[in-house]
Amino acid sequence: MMEDAAKPTAMETLLATLDLEPIEVDIFRGRSPQVGWQRVFGGQVIGQALMAAQRTIETERFVHSLHAYFMRPGDPSVPIVYQVERIRDGSSFNTRRVVAIQHGKAIFALSCSFQVEEPGFDHQIVMPDVPIPERLLGEQQIKEQYLAHAPAAVRKYWEREPPIEIRPVSLTHYFSDKKLDPRQDVWVRATGPVPDNRLYQAAVLAYLSDMTLLDTSLYAHGTSIFDQGLQVASLDHSMWFHRPDKLEDWLLYTQDSPSAFGARGLTRGSLFTRSGVLIASVAQEGLIRKKANE
C-alpha cells in the first residue's frame, strides 16, 4: 500500500522528465519514462529540447516560436543528450539551436526564438463553437462503452495513465473506416498540477502539441494512426506561442489537414483556452506511408 501511495502520477513523471540534468555548459541530459513504448514520444523530445534552450536564456524572456525536425526514432532505454548553441543574444530577441543526440547520432534538431515581453497590436481568430468537455465522454466512459470491442492498439493507447487527458468532440474516427472531413476538435488538459513557472508551462504545452495532430491527416482516408498497415511518424513540427497560460483548465485543440501527398500529411492546429483565448498555433508534417506487403 505504501508503494502505491509513493508512486508518482503521470504528470509528476512528465515534469521530472522535463527537469533536465545539466552535465556541462549548455549540455543537458534527458531521460524517458519506461512505459513500454518502442520509441520516444515526439512531444517529449520537443519539450525537453525547449527546456534545454530555456535554461540558457535570462529571465523575463520567453519563447515565442520553435521549429523542429525529427531525424531518427528516439530510444527510450538510454538518455538523450541535448546540446544548445547560443546563436544570438540581442536587445529584444534571443535565438537558440538545440541538437538531441543518442548513440552518437543526431535524432532531432530544434531552433527557437525568445523575446522580451512588450506591448503591441492584439487580435486573434475566434474559437470554434463546440460542446464543452463536461458534455463529452470521459476516459472511463470511453473505456466502458467502446474499448471492449476496439482494436488492440486503440485499447493500449486509451488504457495507459496519461499526463494529458484528451476528450475528442467526435469518436467516429477511432471506431470507423468512414472517410471524414480532415479536421477535428479535441479538448486537452493536464491530469495534474503544472508549476506556476513559465518555463514548465511552455514545455508542457509543447509536449501536448504533438498529440493527435498526425492522426488528423488520415481522416480523409478512412484510417488512423492505429492502422498496423501504416508507417506513421512526425517529420517536422513548428509552434508559435502567442499568449501565456497556466494550464489549469481544459484547452481546445482545433485541427485541420489541408493536404496529404507524397506519403506526407500536413496538419495545422490552434490551442484555445476554455474562454476562447488563442494561446498557441501549431503546424506539423508527418510521414503517412502504407507498409509494403510482406
Q: What are the catalytic residues?
A: 210, 234, 284
C-alpha cell, 178: 468512414
Which among 7, 32, 112 is positioned nearest to 66, based on CA atoms?
A: 112
Which residues, at least 6 apart from 11, have a Cβ–Cβ distance to it below 8 Å? Answer: 163, 190, 191, 192, 193, 194
C-alpha cell, 147: 474499448
Which among 67, 68, 111 is positioned nearest to 86, based on CA atoms?
A: 111
Which among 81, 77, 76 is positioned nearest to 105, based on CA atoms?
A: 81
Which among 21, 7, 89 is positioned nearest to 52, based on CA atoms?
A: 21
C-alpha angle with apex 38: 67 to 216, nearest 5 degrees? Answer: 50
Strands (DSSP E) found in 155-211 = 164-168, 183-190
